[in-house]
Amino acid sequence: MFHKEGFIIIIISFILTVAIFVFSEYFIVSPQLNNILQFFSIFLLIIVLQFFRNPKRTVIPNDKKILSPVDGKVVVIESVYEKEYFKANRIQISIFMSPINVHVTRYPASGRITYSKYHPGKYLVAWHPKSSLENERTTIVIDTPEYGEILYRQIAGALARRIVNYANEGDKVIQGDDAGFIKFGSRVDVFLPLNTPINIKLNEIVKGAQTIIAST
Catalytic residues: 186
Cα–Cα dist 24/54, whole Å:
32
First to last CA, the chain: 33
> What SS3 class is residue 5?
helix
- The count of other CB atoms within 10 Å of the CB of residue 98 is 14
> What SS3 class is residue 48?
helix
Name, in order, each residue with C-beta under 8 angstroms of 81's C-beta and a sequence gap of 6 or more. Answer: 87, 88, 89
* Contact between residue 167 and residue 178 where contact means Cβ atoms under 8 Å apart: no
